[in-house]
Amino acid sequence: MGVFASTDDPGSTGHEQVVFCQDKQTGLKAIIGIYSTALGPALGGTRFYPYVSEEAALADVLDLSRGMAYKNALAGLDLGGGKAVIWGDPEQIKSEALLRAYGRFVESLAGRYYTACDVGTYVADMDMIARETRYVTGRSVEHGGAGDSSILTAWGVFQGMRAAAEHVWGAPTLAGRRVGVAGLGKVGKYLTGHLLDDGAEVVATDVNPKALEWVRTTHPQVELVDDASALVAADIDVYAPCALGGALNDDTVPALRAKVVTGAANNQLAHPGIEKLLADRGILYAPDYVVNAGGVIQVADEIEGFNFDRAKLRATKIYDTTREILRLADDEGVPPAVAADRLAERRMADVGRLRTIRLR
Ligand SMILES: NC(=O)c1ccc[n+]([C@@H]2O[C@H](COP(=O)([O-])OP(=O)(O)OC[C@H]3O[C@@H](n4cnc5c(N)ncnc54)[C@H](O)[C@@H]3O)[C@@H](O)[C@H]2O)c1
């Protein structure tokens, strides 16, 4: 995959900037990818992961940073899209010095990129990185941060699901519907609470016995099934993938009995073409990056000085955005994932263009 976009290189990605950072002493090897700053500084988390190769790390950061540009655009944020990866095993090499070295590289970009938590990085790591850079979100409440982003992620997924329910059944509620939640982690737990409060029946599964124990004691009315395949084949109205990516694939989509898919997991479509398979089966898929934007909305709010109520209000708008995308998909005769991409690209072009109007 080439980074530089050119008309005769269809494999090029069109990223604005890709920065390789190294600090030999601490073992830091990081790549920061900035896909677009058309709407503002690029925001996206730092993934700390033992990639098999530098090529794999680069491919991931290019892919993830592009995804963040689309997610932030549709979340209505004045932020572009970026992401970073630290190549290495966090269990082995994560240290104060490594995180602070990384923070200095983030600072060196002078605000073109804001970082946040992702797989392998936590709130405490952001607090550490913040000792070297101003351009960090996802810090702890004690350090002026937004804390646990799964709270508004779950709230946003619930709003997206309400919009999908309205599109299919005519009313923006899950009352009386059976919703299958795959993954009772940080997001799945909050989502289960919102669904039960709304009057839905919840069927769930998780591979972690602790998560199952939590649901048995907190919400004994939740029905549990053995695994995600059993959930897919269960008699449910809505399927909510809240564990890992690739939940919608060539095996699960033909077996799925739900009419709606709305969940928190990133990259739910295992490969391009799955969105068409879903549409052909008459299953409405609310795109993951639209409905799971509550977390980025929550941490982005830190840039203005965190205010939970304001962030929640913004995350509630995921209901309106999902509605608009589903309507656009119908009007243009395309799957919702395609309509969402079009809407994001339109906002990046229309609002991004305004910066060409000189202010002085
Ligand atoms: N936390 C956020 O703010 C946020 C924001 C956007 C997207 N997401 C995405 O949402 C998903 C869930 O995030 P989270 O923060 O709740 O993660 P988490 O690690 O807290 O929870 C994931 C849960 O899924 C379970 N799980 C893993 N494999 C499973 C399987 N095969 N079948 C059933 N359960 C399985 C795990 O045991 C765990 O309980 C992830 O894909 C994440 O990338 C999270």
pLDDT of residue 7: 60
* Whether 16 contacts 32, CB under 8 Å: no
Average pLDDT of span 96-103: 98
Average pLDDT of span 19-34: 98
Burial class (CB in 10 A: 0-12, 13-18, 19+), 317: middle
| Ligand 1 neighbourhood includes 318 CB (under 6 angstroms) | no
For ligand 1, atom 3: residue with the closest CA: 150
Work out the angle at residue 159's Cα, subtended by the Cα atoms of residues 157 and 164, and round it to the nearest 5 degrees: 90
pLDDT level of residue 8 (50, 70, 90 thresholds): low
Q: What is the mean pLDDT of the chain?
A: 95
| Ligand 1 neighbourhood includes 228 CB (under 6 angstroms) | yes
CA 253 to CA 327: how far, in whole Å?
23
| Ligand 1 neighbourhood includes 208 CB (under 6 angstroms) | yes
CB atoms within 10 A of CB 186: 18
189 is catalytic: no
Residue 291 confidence (pLDDT) above 60: yes
Strand-strand pairing, 28-36 and 80-87? antiparallel
Nearest ligand 1 atom to alpha carbon 184: 39
**Which candidate, 154, 174, 149, 178, places its Cα nearest to that of 162?**
174
Maximum Cα interatomic distance, the chain, rounded to a whole number of Å: 63
What separation in Å is there between the alpha carbon of 353 and the centre of ligand 1? 37
Residue 11 confidence (pLDDT) above 80: no
CA 195 to CA 190: how far, in whole Å?
9
For ligand 1, atom 9: residue with the closest CA: 265
For ligand 1, atom 39: residue with the closest CA: 185
| Ligand 1 neighbourhood includes 137 CB (under 6 angstroms) | no
| Ligand 1 neighbourhood includes 296 CB (under 6 angstroms) | no
Out of 70, 71, 206, mutate this one to test ligand 1's pocket (max ligand atoms within 8 Å of CB): namely 206
Nearest ligand 1 atom to alpha carbon 211: 39
Of 141-150, 203-212, 228-237, which range is least confident?
141-150
CA 202 to CA 198: how far, in whole Å?
11
pLDDT of residue 10: 57
In total, the chain counts a number of residues equal to 360
Average pLDDT of span 202-207: 98
pLDDT level of residue 244 (50, 70, 90 thresholds): confident
Residue 327 confidence (pLDDT) above 60: yes
Please report, rounded to a whole number, the percentage of residues in the chain having pLDDT higher than 70. Answer: 97
* H or E stretch covering 181: strand 178-182
- Helix locations, the chain, DSSP H: 54-74, 90-93, 96-108, 123-129, 150-169, 186-198, 209-218, 228-233, 252-255, 274-280, 288-291, 294-300, 308-316, 318-332, 336-353
For ligand 1, atom 1: residue with the closest CA: 150
* Whether 56 contacts 70, CB under 8 Å: no
Show Cβ contacts of residue 46 under 8 Å, excluding neighbours closer than 6 positions: 30, 83, 84, 85, 86, 102, 115, 116, 117, 118, 121, 125, 129
Out of 242, 261, 291, mutate this one to test ligand 1's pocket (max ligand atoms within 8 Å of CB): namely 242
| Ligand 1 neighbourhood includes 205 CB (under 6 angstroms) | yes
Please report, rounded to a whole number, the percentage of residues in the chain having pLDDT higher than 90. Answer: 93
pLDDT of residue 283: 97
**Which candidate, 6, 11, 32, places its Cα nearest to that of 109?**
32
What separation in Å is there between the alpha carbon of 21 and the centre of ligand 1? 29
pLDDT of residue 6: 62
Residue 114 confidence (pLDDT) above 60: yes
Q: What is the pLDDT of residues 160-181, one digit of tens each?
A: 999 999 999 999 999 999 999 9
CA 354 to CA 347: how far, in whole Å?
11
Q: What is the pLDDT of residues 40-83, one digit of tens each?
A: 999 999 999 999 999 999 999 999 999 999 999 999 999 999 99
Average pLDDT of span 5-23: 82
Residue 185 confidence (pLDDT) above 90: yes
Nearest ligand 1 atom to alpha carbon 148: 3
pLDDT of residue 245: 85
Query: Which carries the bigger pLDDT value, residue 131 or residue 1?
Result: 131
What separation in Å is there between the alpha carbon of 149 and the centre of ligand 1? 13
pLDDT of residue 101: 98
pTM of the model: 0.92
Q: Is residue 102 classed as helix, strand or coil in its secondary structure?
A: helix
Residue 211 confidence (pLDDT) above 70: yes
Residue 236 confidence (pLDDT) above 70: yes
Catalytic-role residue among 24, 29, 71, 83: 83
CA 191 to CA 189: how far, in whole Å?
5
CA 30 to CA 23: how far, in whole Å?
9
| Ligand 1 neighbourhood includes 292 CB (under 6 angstroms) | yes
Average pLDDT of span 282-309: 96
Residue 191 confidence (pLDDT) above 80: yes
CA 315 to CA 322: how far, in whole Å?
12
| Ligand 1 neighbourhood includes 264 CB (under 6 angstroms) | yes
